[in-house]
Amino acid sequence: MSDTGSAARFDGRVAVVTGGASGIGEACARLLAARGARVVVADRNRDAADRVAAELGGHAFNVDVRDADAITAFAAQVEADVGPVAALVTSAGIVQAPLPPEELPLALYDDVVAINLRGTYLTLVAFAKGMLRRRAGAMVTISSVTAERSVPLHAYAPTKAAVSNLTMGLAGEWGRSGIRVNSVEPGYTLTPALQHQIDLGHREPALLEANSTLGRMVLPQDVANAVAFLLSDEAAAITGVNLPVDAGFFCAGSWAPYGGVRPARG
Q: Give the DSSP per-residue string, 84-144.
A: -EEEEEE----------GGGS-HHHHHHHIIIIIIHHHHHHHHHHHHHHHHT-EEEEEE--
Positions annotated as catalytic residues are 156
CA separation, residue 28 to residues 84, 148, 194, 209, 232 (Å): 19, 23, 17, 23, 13
Q: What is the pLDDT of residue 157?
A: 98
Instruction: Please report how the helices 23-34 and 46-56 are oriented relative to each other, as an axis angle in degrees rounded to 10.
Output: 20
DSSP state of 145: G
- pLDDT 10s digit of each residue in the chain, 266 long? 445 456 889 999 999 999 999 999 999 999 999 999 999 999 999 999 999 999 999 999 999 999 999 999 999 999 999 999 999 999 999 999 999 999 999 999 999 999 999 999 999 999 999 999 999 999 999 999 999 999 999 999 999 999 999 999 999 999 999 999 999 999 999 988 888 889 999 889 998 898 899 999 999 999 999 999 999 999 999 999 999 999 999 999 899 899 999 999 88
| Domain map (residue ranges) of the chain | 14-189+220-248
* pTM score: 0.94
Burial of residue 124 (number of CB atoms within 10 Å: 0-12, 13-18, 19+): buried
CATH of segment(s) 14-189+220-248: 3.40.50.720
- Alpha-carbon span 44 to 40, nearest angstrom: 13
Contact 220, 192 (CB under 8 A): no
- Alpha-carbon span 68 to 109, nearest angstrom: 19
Nearest to 138, CA basis, from 96, 98, 183:
183
Q: What is the pLDDT of residue 194?
A: 84
Q: To the nearest 10°, the Cα dihedral for 202, 208, 209, 210?
A: 120
Q: What is the pLDDT of residue 3?
A: 56
Nearest to 27, CA basis, from 195, 224, 188:
224
Strand, coil or helix: 23 = helix
Sheet order of strands, 38-43 included: 59-62, 38-43, 14-18, 85-90, 137-142, 179-186, 242-245
- Alpha-carbon span 49 to 86, nearest angstrom: 20
- Alpha-carbon span 26 to 14, nearest angstrom: 16
